[in-house]
Amino acid sequence: MAAQRVEVDGGIMEGGGQILRVSTALSCLLGLPLRVQKIRAGRSTPGLRPQHLSGLEMIRDLCDGQLEGAEIGSTEIMFTPEKIKGGIHTADTKTAGCNYLSISRPWLDLYFSFIFVVQAVYVSVCYTFCRGYYPKGGGEVIVRMSPVKQLNPINLTDRGSVTKIYGRAFVAGVLPFKVAKDMAAAAVRCIRKEIRDLYVNIQPVQEPKDQAFGNGNGIIIIAETSTGCLFAGSSLGKRGVNADKVGIEAAEMLLANLRHGGAVDEYLQDQLIIFMALACGVSRIKTGPVTLHTQTAIHFAEQLAKAKFSVKKSEDEEDASKDTYIIECQGIGMTNPYL
């Protein structure tokens, strides 16, 4: 008997593309027919955009599914997954601001790892061949992954101490190298106001002309801890915004993620929810303030995967004066039937 179609309201909570990503990924993995209504109702331009269509077409092709209503501006889709197909899968997303994604492993072997592609975390190897800048895009990324039989529970509750801070300030196209140096210097000055006992290594980089499309600049800064936790801050340049401001914005984002005492930053926080839902056993992560994206991911993981989550204020003594939380999940223990 075919599974009953799940009704998803794409306009609640975060109200954007995240609902589409999480629900269609779980639909594909769990074999759940799906209808998503009010897609991106919470955005100034509701409905599907080119990047959403590319993702939906990738999922459809992956599981030989049926997809209805997938057009630019559409606010409702019907998706019925079938059996995962083998072979190498390529999704062409050379549209404004998007990257080209080429996955060079048999998709049959990557059945369980499909969610890694959708959420773009915990990949085995990721190569960035070309960066593409807004509005033309044209970047190229290749991700290679290995299949697993089952996901182990996640336990990220001990942040440890920060041992390294490093990063990359980059410019491409006609932008002068001085912009990269100014972003890096401004970021280092900002970080040293709070963290004085570590060398901050942010390298300015001029992207080779054959490895970038368009003109652009940006910076990413990573903090690594003694327990292996990673935190990041990043910023992209915009016309009329000086380089110092871009560097400071990335540095302040990183520092904010370090102040709350959690073991994951605000952007990894919601990405982990779907892994926690599918894992075998109880997962626990310590975070800063729980974001709306995380609340949304939890809602739909509970609705579709039937996983059970709890969110509680951290009771650790060192967190008494901080806005720190423990997110816990009893995963459903999904297994890969192809291994």
Burial of 263 (0-12, 13-18, 19+ CB in 10 A): buried
Helix (H, G, I), strand (E, B) or coil at 288: coil
Which residue in the block uniquely carries the two structure tokens 């109880």?
A: 282
Q: Quick check: is 293 catalytic? A: yes
Single out the catalytic residue among 52, 89, 293, 299.
293
Residue 268 annotated as part of some ligand binding site: yes
Output the CA–CA distances (angstroms, integers) from residue 186 to 169, 171, 204, in the order listed: 11, 15, 12
Residue 269 annotated as part of some ligand binding site: yes
Burial of 126 (0-12, 13-18, 19+ CB in 10 A): exposed
Q: What is the per-residue DSSP string for 154-218?
A: PEE-----EEEEEEEEEEETTS-HHHHHHHHHHHHHHHHTT--SS-EEEEEEE--GGGEES-EEE
CA 41, CA 21: separation in Å to the nearest integer?
15
CA 102, CA 181: separation in Å to the nearest integer?
32
Contacts of 193 (CB under 8 A, 6+ apart): none
Residue 267 annotated as part of some ligand binding site: yes
Binding site for ATP: which residues? 267-271
Binding site: which residues? 267-271
Q: Which residues are tagged catalytic?
A: 293
